[in-house]
Amino acid sequence: MGGTETPESRAALPVGVFDSGVGGLSVLRDIRALLPHESLTYVADAGCVPYGGRPAAMIRERSEALVRFFRELPVKAVVVACNTATAAAAPALRARWPELPIIAMEPAVKPAVAVSRTGIIGVLATEGTLASDRFSGLVSQYAGSVRVLTQPCPGLVERVEQGDTESPLLDRLLRSYLQPLLDAGVDTLILGCTHYPFLRHRIQALAGPALHLIETGPAVARQLQRRLDRAGLLAPAAADRNIAFFTTGEPEALQTFLQRQWPEATGAVGRLDFSNEQAQQ
């Protein structure tokens, strides 16, 4: 960040938001709904999706490269719109860039424990998230006497990346992940990966209306609002806002997904190449 910046000019900067792919768009939508005056820059690291089964060190490296990109733009804050990257990289990112507000996200164990009546909750998330120390820490901190059943979901992120949010194949996969949890008496299910809110309607349809589904996106948007407010960085109401999109994969794939899932947000998608860390739009 340059020395000539004023608080006003910093407040006008965008917020950077990233995920391994399109999943973080579910969080971007929540941020847009709560903070309509903010400019947002989204990066899908689709060149490396899925993060779920990859080594934590690799996810950390990718996350650092993404934050370096955001710093050069620059942005006023970064949202790690990915549970897997949070588990692997959030402490490292915060230690490296202590001056930058970094908002990260993790499965909403505490709210799920608070609403469960059967005392049995389920968590759908990636292997990386569920195997992390951060997740075990959350469970020991908040579960109390509530049983927490975890279900890794290989294949789901790939379905969403391909734009498949309803197909017989997707339903078969979902059923195989949901049924054991339902049979065990789960009444509250955490969507612990930002790709899964795009499957919410299918999950609810397959599990029935009684299952309580919990996402973290709205809480992340509120946390971003608090952090910006505290730092005097909220964009003024009259701000000229925009959303920019970048991907390390194929721009057409992200554009097609946006057209289907969030047509109001459709815009140009730039390609980001980490080999020279240059973004071309």
Restricting to residues 126-185, name those near ligand DGL by CB under 6 A.
Answer: 126, 129, 157
Q: Which of 117, 122, 261 is nearest to 198 (CA)?
A: 261
Q: Which of 243, 216, 270 is nearest to 38 (CA)?
A: 243
Q: Which is nearer to ligand DGL, 38 or 106 (CB)?
A: 106
Among 11, 13, 28, 51, binds ligand DGL (CB under 6 A): 51
The residue range among 20-28, 110-118, 235-243, 256-264 that interacts with ligand DGL, by the rule CB under 6 A, is: 20-28
Q: How many CB atoms lie within 10 A of CB 35?
A: 19
Q: For residues 97 and 1, what is the distance between their CA atoms, to the nearest angstrom?
A: 11
Write each residue from 76 to 105 as x if it is in contact with ligand DGL (CB under 6 A), else as -, in one continuous string: ------xxx---------------------
Among 29, 195, 202, 227, binds ligand DGL (CB under 6 A): 195
Q: Which is nearer to ligand DGL, 19 or 38 (CB)?
A: 19
**Residue 235 in contact with ligand DGL, rule: CB under 6 A:** no
Q: Which of 45, 14, 13, 40 is nearest to 29 (CA)?
A: 40
Q: For residues 221 and 31, what is the distance between their CA atoms, to the nearest angstrom?
A: 5
> 231: which residues sit within 8 A by CB, 6+ positions away?
101
Residues serving a catalytic function are: 82, 193
Would you tell me which residues interact with ligand DGL (CB under 6 A)?
Answer: 19-21, 23, 49-52, 82-84, 126, 129, 157, 193-195
